[in-house]
A and B are shown apart, each in its own frame.
Chain A
Amino acid sequence: MLKKVRTRRKWAVLAYAELGRAAPRNPVAARAVLAALIFPLVLMFSPLVSVLAHSQERMAASPPGGGQGASPQSGAVQDQEETPQELDGWERPIIALPKDRKPAPAPRRDISGIWDPGLNGIGMLGAKAMPDDGKPEHQPPYTPLGLQMLAHAKPNSGTRAVLPGDTNDPVFKYGDPQGVPREDLYELRTIQIYLSPQNMAILYQFNKVWRVIWTDGRKLPENPEPRWFGYSVGKWVDDYTFVVETIGMNDVAWVDRIGRPHSADLRVEERFHRPDRDHLELTVTIDDPKMYTRPWVALDKLVFELQPPSFDVREMIWSPSQYEKYNKLMGITPSEKDTH
């Protein structure tokens, strides 16, 4: 083995020497000498070049600082070890979050970034902190009117579930927007939070919905025209907790997947707390004196995990035409007249 290596090295030396002698009188030979010298060097250093190029690519994927997206201040996920898994929609490897990610303190007054709650925000049984599972302690404090309105709702999930073709869920039956607070309580998937000096915007994966929460000090309107998503203002109550107040919703939407009602007097509080760099907790409280005798917590510290700044949020849109096709294929038809 050693002899073979030595023989190869000898032939290589002789080849270089021969090319070197020929170089001064032959330009072609000169270029060959140059190539013969450079090529092995390129091979030797190519792994290093690759690492540097990859590093540049990651830097390019990171947004500049200033609070938009997951800035280096708010994120720092890009500094962690990467483990490519499946591909995202752009056919790039999805960067898995390292399991041994070192904890780091949250940046002050910054919850910007791409946040993923996994599959913990789907809310099939309604508000996650108050699931419709038949347990008395999970029954919100309905007023008589609240119970009456609840009886009109025909969800196809929970203890009062009807067959899929018989539901009068406004989202599935008509393609209505979810509005506030249902946007937080059903199909809450990946969210993107952007901060500006005047407001904060939240982009929701489900149905590509966005909201604006004003932080410029304005007051909530006293006599608002109803909106699906109402009117939201927010403020920092400490350096790591941002509280949003929302009013002015219409009375068409359901509170959650199982048809809990709300009136136009509904007030919703969303409390975003960032305990460390990589986590965000969301707590949602419902206050509607017409439908409930006291405020109740619908979502209790739902945990989101910070994603890399280049994370691709896949499209997840509930489309009436696709739903119709789905129902047709699955043989789902109404079994009785709905009363919605």
Chain B
Amino acid sequence: MNRKLRIILCLGLAVSIFSSRLVAHHGAAAYDTDKKVTVKGTVTDWLWSNPHCILQLDATDDSGQVVHWVTETENPSSMIRNGWTKDSFKVGVEISVLLVPSKISGRTGRIVEVTFPDGHKLLGRGIAVTPAKPDESAKP
């Protein structure tokens, strides 16, 4: 993909902080569940695997630098129930990811939802877009 186009389409990093408490028992230890971050970028890899699926993307920050993000969902068996598949993401596609940032590693996070260019969304699990039941959170 044309790099200029990619940079234009990568609308950069938008950080918004919400006060709502999120429900994620693993996340309570590993994630800053008081924050949500929106990352707009280009998919560089989609790993459909246990223990959790991992979506990687490149975004562009305010200074024009490319920033690499590693984001996770839950395992494939759970994500299938939300309509995710091994073919959900293709490398090079521009997406917007709403995530909860990690406390222990920079530029990593737990996916709340992904928005595609045509507007359709894929919802994460275990993080409260809709109120999650205690047992619907993730491991490890």
Residues of A within 8 A of B (CB): 86, 119-125, 128, 131, 133, 156-158, 161-165, 167, 169, 172, 187, 189, 205, 257, 314, 316-319, 322-323, 325-326, 329-332, 335
Contacts and interface: CB of A to CB of B under 8 A. Distances in A.
28 contacts: A86-B80, A119-B78, A119-B133, A119-B135, A122-B139, A124-B25, A124-B137, A125-B135, A156-B29, A156-B30, A157-B29, A162-B29, A163-B104, A164-B30, A164-B104, A165-B104, A314-B80, A317-B50, A322-B50, A326-B51, A329-B47, A330-B54, A330-B70, A330-B102, A330-B105, A331-B102, A331-B105, A335-B104
A119 B104 contact: no
A335 B83 CA distance: 36
Given A157-B25, A331-B104, A318 B137 contact: no
Interface of B: 25-26, 28-30, 47, 49-52, 54, 56, 70, 72, 75-78, 80-81, 83, 85, 102, 104-106, 108, 133-140
Contact of A156 (B50, B75, B140): B140
Contacts of B50: 316-319, 322-323
B87 to A, nearest CB: 10
B140 A161 contact: no
Contacts of A86: 80, 83, 85
A157 B139 CA distance: 8
Most buried by A among B47, B77, B80, B139: B139
Nearest to B125: A119
A286 to B, nearest CB: 19
B76 A314 contact: yes
Nearest to A330: B108
Residue among B76, B80, B135 having the largest count of chain A Cβ atoms under 10 Å: B135
A98 B6 CA distance: 45
A125 B85 CA distance: 27
Nearest to A128: B135
B51 A330 contact: no
A169 B140 CA distance: 10
B136 A164 contact: no
Contacts of A205: 77
Contact of B76 (A156, A316, A323): A316
A156 B102 CA distance: 15
Given A162-B29, A205-B77, A124 B83 contact: no
A125 B26 CA distance: 9
Contacts of A165: 104
Contact of B140 (A128, A167, A189, A335): A167
A216 to B, nearest CB: 34
Contacts of A122: 135-137, 139
B85 to A, nearest CB: 8
B135 A120 contact: yes
A167 B83 CA distance: 31
Nearest to A121: B135
A205 B30 CA distance: 27
A158 B29 CA distance: 9
B135 A329 contact: no
Contacts of A189: 77
